[in-house]
Amino acid sequence: MNRILRVSLLVFLLLAPIAQAKTPVARGTGGAAATISEQATQSAIAILDQGGNAVDAAVAAAATLGVTDPFSCGIGGGGFMVVYLAKDKRVITLDHRETAPAATPPTLFVEDGKAMDFDTAVASGLSVGVPGTVRGWHEALQRYGTMSFEQVLAPAIAVAEEGFVVDANFSQLVARNERKFNRFPATGALYLRNGKAIPTGTTLRNPDLARSYRALADGGVDAFYAGPMARAIVDTVNRPPTAPGVSVRGSRMTLADLANYEARMRLPVHSTYRGYDLYGMPLPSSGGVTVFEALNMLEGYDLASMSRAEVEHLYLEASRLAFADRDAYLADPEYVDAPVAGLLSKDYAARRRGLIDPQRAAPGAVAAGDPYPFQRDPSPPLRPAPRTLQPESAHTTHLTVADKDGTVVAYTFTIEDWGGSGMVVPGYGFLLNNELTDFDFIPPHPNIPEAGKRPRSSMTPTIALKDGRPAFSIGSPGGSTIITTVLQTIVNYVDLGMPMDQAIDAPRLSQRNGATTDIEPGYADSGQAKALMERGQRWSALAEEIGAANALVFNADGTVTAVSEGHRHGVGSAQVQKPLKNHTR
């Protein structure tokens, strides 16, 4: 344990002198990293500088994000990792999505025949899935990394122990969750002061999380899934420790649920788009399938010759159709035989494209199509009835890392809602997820709760190759808006020819088969918005930031450009191992 502490402090001291204002774009050679947190990006670069590979660095960055971005991610949640292995010249994916406990019924969120209130479900033990993050990190390091837990967790331990300065964005996120956090004393003690959000400028330390990370460094994956930490998780989920006078529902998670948790190695979903080979997460993530289906529709248009308004109109309508199919068919592949081959068929995309009016938006939700005739192994057709889009929290994080040898990691992980279920495990310093609210509440539906099932996700870590080599990676948080953020960024970059930083910073529009499209503040009065309104596009009344993307671009001259958000989520952080001086795009 003393050795771990010494390593942690050494890494912190190495990082501290280079602390500086966030830079959302960096170009150079060697390895590169982009995250939403300066400390997390520094952790990745520090591990690369010590000789670690991209997988090692990605886990180090993720662990640090669990300290500095705890309301989006952490060891109480789960995620999806897409990795291009340079040595093998292939793409693999690692699914460590949370699972429903063995005692979970299909009616988990049904009361008196009706769907439970969503916010009530979130802030409860009922919403907590069996966490998969630690198992995922273990599998990634064992299979594809070069370092131990002790080495890759050292930067995060240092940040948790020494603390970091809370910025305005962090404080605002806490303020939005004061009511939820006040229900749970362990959460309030960490993130509130006298019941109010921790103020900007405060140095926040999390010694309990540092101890949890040290336990993992010392005992490995079993320190999380068995023993005292596992018992504390189960106790918190089943008998939530609440403030006086507060009562929330508990669950029936067991130690066996934790001990039996398994990550999954899955084949990536693959598609092509204008000369790129695109690789993404398969089910239970719906992101890859939905983005690729929409791109297949858009591929039938000469977007490069069109105005921005024409392109964005077609993007919105393709997204609408793809979401109709996503909501109807996609769920955990171990429970549902989803028609993925049909949905990704270019011929099926041509049929769906025929429903798009290039001059006029659909007036509202459209029906799902019938992909079964396009399956390689046709199944009996399912023609689901349209239904209202299930709420999905918009709070996750994405990071991307590459090393000097060309291995690339695109990694999205989450605890779901801002602050997950709101419950910090007492004595261990991490928030538990509310991932089970990603299930549809009312049966029947492919995505209903079932024992051991993984809820459908929208996380969309994506890697693009061109001529067999990495071209770019992209991903974002944002609940179901993750899909549209990744889709729109690819269209901006590939079809509109924007540099990746401009493609990420451009105003985001999220159409998910609804009567209106979600937009960001200030967009409704813009010239872009008015041009789309002439085609019948309509905007939601509430405007909020959409996503917080991170990307890498592998340039023809052998350099790499790391790109993070230029204005959202307090501005992101991009770094390369060997920066170019006075570089331009």
The alpha carbon dihedral of 127, 129, 131, 133 has a sign of negative
Taking the CB of residue 18, how many other CB atoms lie within 10 A of it? Answer: 11
Q: For the beta carbon of residue 357, count every other beta carbon within 10 angstroms.
A: 12
- What is the mean predicted confidence (pLDDT) over 557-569? 95
**pLDDT reported for residue 333:** 96
Per-residue pLDDT, 582: 64
Residues 6+ apart with CB under 8 A from 516: 538, 539, 540, 541
- Looking up tokens 């966030």 gives 22
Euclidean distance between the first and the last CA atom of the chain, given in angstroms as a whole number: 45
Buried b (16+ CB within 10 A) or exposed e, 464-490: bbeeeebbbbbbbbbbbbbbbbbbbbb
Residue-wise pLDDT tens digits, 271-321: 999 999 999 999 999 999 999 999 999 999 999 999 999 999 999 999 999
* pLDDT at 396 (0 to 100): 75
How many separate helices (H) and strands (E) can be counted in the chain? Answer: 20, 19
Q: How far is C-alpha 380 from the geometric centre of its chain's CA atoms?
A: 33
How far is 563 from 326, CA to CA, in rounded Å? 29
Look up tokens 């492919």; give the residue: 446
The 10s digit of each residue's pLDDT in 67-115 is 999 989 999 999 999 999 999 999 999 999 999 999 999 999 999 999 9
Count of C-beta atoms within a 10 Å radius of residue 363: 9
What is the structure's pLDDT at 15?
A: 45
- CA dist 179 → 175, 341, 424 (Å): 9, 45, 14
Torsion from C-alpha of 475, 476, 479, 483, nearest 10 degrees = -40
For residue 186, what are the CA distances in angstroms to 74, 118, 127, 206, 236? 16, 23, 18, 12, 11
Q: What is the mean pLDDT of residues 493-502?
A: 98
* pLDDT value of residue 14: 44
Amino acid 18: pLDDT: 39
**Residue 226 banded pLDDT, cuts 50, 70, 90:** very high
* Per-residue confidence (pLDDT) for residue 569, from 0 to 100: 85
**Tally of CA atoms within 13 A in the half-sphere of 521 that contains its CB:** 4
Once rounded to an integer, what is the mean pLDDT over residues 122-134?
A: 97
Q: What's the pLDDT at 169?
A: 87
d(CA 414, CA 420): 8
Banded pLDDT at 377 (limits 50, 70, 90):
low
Instruction: Kindly tell me if the per-residue pLDDT of 448 is higher than 80.
Output: yes
- Read off the pLDDT band of 383 (50, 70, 90): low
pLDDT at 581: 78
Residue 558 has pLDDT above 70, yes or no: yes
Flag whether pLDDT at 24 surpasses 80: yes
Query: Per residue in 227-268, pLDDT tens?
Result: 999 999 999 999 999 999 999 999 999 999 999 999 999 999
Identify whether the C-beta of residue 508 lies closer than 8 Å to the C-beta of residue 546.
yes
Which whole number is the average pLDDT over 186-202? 95
Give the up-direction half-sphere exposure of residue 273: CA atoms within 13 A in the CB hemisphere. 28
Comparing 93-107, 132-146, 364-378, the range with the smallest average pLDDT is 364-378
pLDDT for 217 equals 98
Distances in whole angstroms, Cα of residue 276 to Cα of each of 468, 472, 585: 9, 10, 21
Q: How confident is the model at residue 384 (pLDDT cuts 50, 70, 90)?
A: low
Degrees to nearest 5, angle at CA 179 with 430 and 101 = 45
248, two tokens: 């929330």
* Region 58-74 average pLDDT: 96
Nearest to 109 by CA among 483, 445, 545: 445
Q: Which residues make Cβ contacts (< 8 Å) with residue 78, sequence separation at least 6?
A: 96, 97, 98, 129, 131, 132, 133, 136, 413, 414, 433, 435
Contact 316, 357 (CB under 8 A): no
For residue range 161-180, list pLDDT tens digits in order: 999 999 998 999 899 899 99
In degrees, rounded to 5, the angle at the alpha carbon of residue 157 between the alpha carbons of residues 152 and 161 is 165
Mean pLDDT of the chain: 93
- Is 459 within 8 Å of 396 (Cβ atoms)? yes
Lowest mean pLDDT among 296-310, 321-335, 373-387, 529-543: 373-387
User: Catalytic positions, please?
Assistant: 396
Q: Which residue has the tokens 């109709």?
A: 324
Instruction: Please provide the DSSP assignment of 385-407 as one string.
Output: PP-PPPP-----EEEEEE-TT--
pLDDT band of residue 16 (cuts 50, 70, 90) is very low
pLDDT at position 145? 98
pLDDT at 438 over 60: yes
State residue 382's pLDDT score.
52
Answer for the pair 358, 315: CB distance below 8 angstroms, yes or no.
no
Q: What are the backbone angles phi and psi of residue 370, rounded to the nearest 5°?
A: -120, 90
- 422 falls in which pLDDT band (50, 70, 90)? very high
Q: Is the peptide bond before 444 cis (omega within 30 degrees of 0)?
A: yes
Say yes or no to pLDDT of 389 above 60.
no
Using N-to-C axis directions, what is the helix angle for 54-68 and 133-144, rounded to 10°?
160
